[in-house]
Amino acid sequence: MPTHLPIRRAVLRAAAALASATLVFLIVPNAADARVKLITLPVRERVEIQLDHPNATLVEEERVVPLVKGANQVDFSWANTQIDPNTIVFRVVGPAGSEKLDVTVASVSYPPNESSLVWTVGASASGSARVRISYLLGNLTKSFNYRAVASHDEKHLTLAQYMRLDNLANESFRETKLFAGFGPQFQKPIGLNETKEVLVEKFEAVPIDKTYTCNPQEYDYLDRGQNKLRVPMHYVIKNDTAHQLGKAVLPYGKVRIFIEGAGDQAQAATAFLGEDWGKFTPKDDEMRLYLGVAQDVVVKRTIDKNEAKRVTGNLYNHDVVIKYEIENFKKQPVTLDVTENLPYVRNETRGNTNRDVDYDLREDTTFTGGPDRERSSSEKLVFHAQLPAADANGKAEKVIHKLHLTFKNEW
C-alpha cells in the first residue's frame, strides 16, 4: 500500500529531480492546500503494451488511487522517460471497491518547467477509484526474427517466429500483457534496459518449394566471359492456410535457416544453411529465403539472333532470339525458373531508348507451356525448364531452349 506524507511544493521538486525515471502520483484534498506525495506509487494493477504500430508503442496502465470527498489533484509526473505528453489520456473507470463513489475529471493543467500533468478530480465521497492512464512511450521497440528448419528431403520446414523487445525507455514494468497486433498475448515482466525475446508462433510441417532461378537483370552473370548465369536457390513459403500459415502477416525479420540431417530426426544433426531477411509478407503472398548460388545447375545464355527489319520510315521491328544451354548435375531432376526482364533485353540488344516495350512472343519459343501467367507481367516473362537428373556417372544431359521475341516499332 502507498504511504501518504505531507510535503511542500519545494520539497516535491527536489524529490522529482532525484527520481530520474519514476512516475509519480500526487493527491491533494483541496486545490489550495499543499500537495500530498505518494512516496511509493500505487501498485500497477494492470499494464498492457500494444506493439502493433511500427513507430509507436502504446502503454495502458491501471491503478487504484485513494481520493477524499471534494476536489483532489492527481499529479502524474515523469523524468528521463520517453513519454509523449501530448498523448497522455486519463480515465476514471469507477470505484475500486463496493462503496458508492462518483468521480469526475474537472480539468487538466501543466505545471511550468515540469514533466508532469495535474488533473483536478472531484469525488462524491472518500474512497478509492480505479483509473486508467494511457500514453505513447518511446525507446520501447520490437523486432522479429525467425528460425526455419527444413526437413532432410526439403519438402517441409518448421518455422518459429520470435519477437525481440528492447527496453531503453528508462522505465520497468512488472507482469505486463504484451500484444504484437497478431498472434497470442503474453504476460511477461520487462526490466529496465532489458532485451527480451518471446516465441510468438511455431508453425509445423510448412510445405516449401525449393526453386532455382536465373534472371540476368536481377542476378547477373556468374561468369560473363563464358556467358554463364548465376542461379540462386530459394526456399519459398506461401502465407496461407493451405501451407499451415495464413493466420496473420509475417513481419519483416531475419531468418536463420537450417536443414535436418539424414536418419532418425531425434538423432540427426541439424546443419546451418545461412541467413536471409524475410520480407513483410501479407496473407496469400510468398516469402522467398535465399540459400546461395547453385553450383550444379549450369545455364549458358547467348543472343542467337538480333536482326532489325524496317517497317516504314525510321521504324523497325527487331527480332531477338535468346538461346539457353542448361545442364543439371544433381542426382534428382529440378525445375529451373527462367526470367527475362523485357526492357533489359531490349536495352541489351537495341540500346536504351527510354520507350515502353511493345513486343510479340513468337511461336517458335521452346519452353513447354509458355510463360507462367501468374508470375509474368507486361515487362517480365517467366518460363519453367524441366531438367532431368544426371546419370549414374554424374553426366548431365544438355537441355536447350530458345526464346524468340519481336520488339515492334523501334527507332
Q: Assess whether 175 and 278 both reside in one domain.
A: yes
Domain contains 229: no
Q: Assess whether 312 and 393 both reside in one domain.
A: yes
Domain contains 216: no
Beta bridge partners of 1: none
Q: Assess whether 203 and 93 both reside in one domain.
A: no
Top mean-pLDDT range of 28-32, 62-66, 231-235 = 231-235
Q: Assess whether 114 and 249 both reside in one domain.
A: no
Q: Cα–Cα distance between 296 and 390 in angstroms, integer?
A: 10
Using DSSP, state whether 16 is helix, strand or coil. helix
Q: Cα–Cα distance between 383 and 215 in angstroms, integer?
A: 11
Label residue 36 by pLDDT band (50, 70, 90). very low
What pLDDT digit, counting tens, does each position of 246-305 carry? 999 999 999 999 999 876 554 568 999 999 999 999 999 999 999 999 999 999 999 999
- Given 290, 307, 327, the domain boundary residue is 290
Q: Assess whether 311 and 280 both reside in one domain.
A: no
Whether the predicted pLDDT of 35 surpasses 60: no
Give the β-pairing of 228-229 and 116-123.
Answer: unpaired
Average pLDDT score over the chain: 88
Q: Assess whether 133 and 143 both reside in one domain.
A: no
Phi and psi at residue 403, in whole multiples of 5°? -115, 120
In the prediction, which pLDDT does 267 show? 55
Domain contains 219: no
Domain contains 221: no
In the prediction, which pLDDT does 122 show? 92
Whether the predicted pLDDT of 124 surpasses 80: yes
What pLDDT digit, counting tens, does each position of 197-249 carry? 999 999 999 999 999 999 999 999 999 999 999 999 999 999 999 999 999 99
Domain contains 101: yes
In the prediction, which pLDDT does 76 show? 87
- Given 137, 166, 193, the domain boundary residue is 137
Q: In what order do the strands lie in the sheet with 156-167?
A: 195-207, 156-167, 140-150, 253-260, 270-278
Q: What is the mean pLDDT of residues 59-78?
A: 90
Phi and psi at residue 87, in whole multiples of 5°? -110, 0
Q: Assess whether 20 and 98 both reside in one domain.
A: yes
List Cα–Cα distances, 120 to 32, 97, 166, 215, in angstroms. 12, 21, 35, 67
Q: Assess whether 131 and 151 both reside in one domain.
A: no
Give the closest residue to 367 by CA, choosing from 395, 405, 397, 329.
Answer: 405
Q: Assess whether 328 and 374 both reside in one domain.
A: yes
pLDDT, greater one: 2 or 103: 103
Share of the chain above pLDDT 90, in %: 72
Domain contains 126: yes
Q: Cα–Cα distance between 160 and 197 in angstroms, integer?
A: 12
Using DSSP, state whether 362 is helix, strand or coil. coil
What pLDDT digit, counting tens, does each position of 137-178 carry? 999 999 999 999 999 999 999 999 999 999 999 999 989 999
In the prediction, which pLDDT does 184 show? 85
Q: Which domain holds residue 274?
A: 139-208+237-290
Share of the chain above pLDDT 70, in %: 89
Domain contains 130: yes
Please classify residue 325 by burial: count the beta carbons closer than 10 Å to its beta carbon, then call 0-12 exposed, 13-18 middle and 19+ buried: middle
Q: Assess whether 257 and 353 both reside in one domain.
A: no
In the prediction, which pLDDT does 80 show? 86
C-beta of residue 42 within 8 angstroms of C-beta of residue 93 = no
- Tell me the three cell numbers of residue 209: 518449394
Label residue 18 by pLDDT band (50, 70, 90). very low
In the prediction, which pLDDT does 2 show? 38
Label residue 78 by pLDDT band (50, 70, 90). confident
Q: Assess whether 20 and 130 both reside in one domain.
A: yes
Q: Assess whether 57 and 124 both reside in one domain.
A: yes
Domain contains 402: yes
Q: Cα–Cα distance between 399 and 336 in angstroms, integer?
A: 11
pTM: 0.81
In the prediction, which pLDDT does 182 show? 84
Whether the predicted pLDDT of 82 surpasses 70: yes
Whether the predicted pLDDT of 322 surpasses 50: yes
- Given 270, 290, 310, the domain boundary residue is 290
Structural domain count of the chain: 3
